[in-house]
Structure 1
Amino acid sequence: MYVKEFFVFDGGKPVKAVVRNYTEKDFDALIRIQQESFPPPFPSELWWNKEQLKNHVSLFPEGALCIEINGEVAGSMTGLLVQFDPDHPAHTWAEITDNGYIRNHDPNGNTLYVVDIGVRPAYRKLGLGKWLMFSMYEVVVHKGFNRLLGGGRMPGYKKHSDKLTPLQYIDQVVKGDLKDPVLTFLLRCGRTPLHVAPNYLEDEDSCNYAALMQWKNPFKN
């Protein structure tokens, strides 16, 4: 069971936060996070449903994390284990996460793969996404996995797609010449680009591309 207590800051004021494994009693709160994080026109059928959440807590509870602020669930992050070969990185989100049902979770996998991360808009100024990411890194280290990996949306890419390839766009973000709402956040969290994934997710702003970004376990190099 993972439980971490600490303080985040709202302006200059410390606020108590807890990261822990989520359980069945949190399902309604987790669905609310999805609704608030991905409002219409995002299709509601892509929000978590309770069957998916039951799989998360039964198949890989170590990869089911939420963060509480003053006792209220404000964000969540979910992962599964996969056997990942960096020499053959191509995949889609639907393939590697079983459309979020994670029935393909591999207990002997070498890589913790990020299925989803979301923070309720009212709490985003507190930096909770970064705390969730760091907590998942601790799971990677504790369990001895090789890496954390996930596909990062590239929502700033569409407006540059006429003059930059996806790889060139990522390179510009890494150099700091461009900023991307998702990729820049992942860089700030310590993730590094590994591969460009075409047709990763139906996402007009990213032209359906994603950047596969990893965090390598520093004890496994």
Structure 2
Amino acid sequence: MFKRLFVTDGVRMVPAVIRSYGFEDFEGLIDVQAKSFPPPYPSELWWNEKQLAEHVQRFPEGALCVEIGGAIVGSMTGLRLTMTDGDEHDWATVSDDGYIRNHEPDGDTLYVIDICVVPEYRKFGLGKWLMQSMYETVVHVGCRRLLGGGRMPGYSRAASELTPEQYVAQVTAGERTDPVLTFLLRCGRVPVGVVANYLDDEQSCGYAALMEWRNPFIDNDNEEAT
């Protein structure tokens, strides 16, 4: 993928590029991880070069980055899997601990395992542009949907009064906002379930909402092109 666009923070309008990342981008991608997930987030959980090499070699269509001024300021990564609704999983299993060696070239689901944008550029809507680009990848490769586990960082403050399913329902209804789930909803993702023990994430109490986007050019009931 390679596309040019202009993005704005409401004041400035700047050119940006969204493209597939390659071996030459690894230093910049790891720097994005460091800026996006600063301490106390453990640095050993940032992407490493071996993981990035697997992304580039196994599924380059699912390895995207965004550049502004020649510098990488965000990235998004996914893999293809064959999944049925209701499959229980966690991030480590579904992503092969980030190495995606379980990638299925003919998988029907494009599963997102990471999206991040450096804080300095988060007002430019780059996360939404990356998501839109991954939707385009879903259509391009012929998957029936995009899926991923969305963190629920606001849930810990409501856990004493709400089940995780009730919390997701309230965020979806607009009765609450959540830093991650509200963003995903604004990107067109739809909640299709909740999984427990998805990540070691105190803010989400270990839960994640499975958030789906269906390929509008595929009949998802009959899985035939329309």
Shorter-chain TM band = over 0.9
Aligned to 1:206: 204
Q: Does 1:77 align with 2:64?
A: no
Aligned to 1:12: 11
Q: What is the aligned counterpart of 1:137 among 117, 123, 135?
A: 135
Distance in 2 separating the partners of 1:102 and 1:11:
37
Deviation at 1:154, TM superposition (A): 0.1
Aligned to 1:160: 158
| CA deviation profile, 1:31-78 (whole Å, cap 9, x unmatched) | 011111111111111000000000000000000000011221110000
Q: How many correspondences in the alignment?
A: 219
Aligned to 2:114: 116
Aligned to 2:41: 42
Q: What is the aligned counterpart of 1:195 among 193, 199, 202?
A: 193
* Identical pairs, percent: 61
CA contact (8 A) 1:89 1:195 kept: no
CA contact (8 A) 1:194 1:214 kept: yes
Where does structure 2 lack aligned partners over 5 or more consecutive residues? 220-226
How well do the aligned residues superpose, as a CA RMSD in angstroms? Answer: 0.7
Could you state the TM-score of these two structures normalised by the residue count of structure 1? Answer: 0.98
CA contact (8 A) 2:145 2:213 kept: yes
Aligned to 1:91: 89
Deviation at 1:90, TM superposition (A): 1.1
Counterpart amino acid of 1:79? G
Deviation at 1:220, TM superposition (A): 1.0
Distance in 2 separating the partners of 1:121 and 1:180:
17
Counterpart amino acid of 2:148? G
CA contact (8 A) 2:9 2:125 kept: no
Could you state the TM-score of these two structures normalised by the residue count of structure 2? Answer: 0.95
Aligned to 2:57: 58
Counterpart amino acid of 1:116? D
Where does structure 1 differ by over 4 angstroms across 4 or more consecutive aligned residues? none
Distance in 1 separating the partners of 2:18 and 2:24:
15
Deviation at 1:84, TM superposition (A): 0.9
Deviation at 1:11, TM superposition (A): 2.6
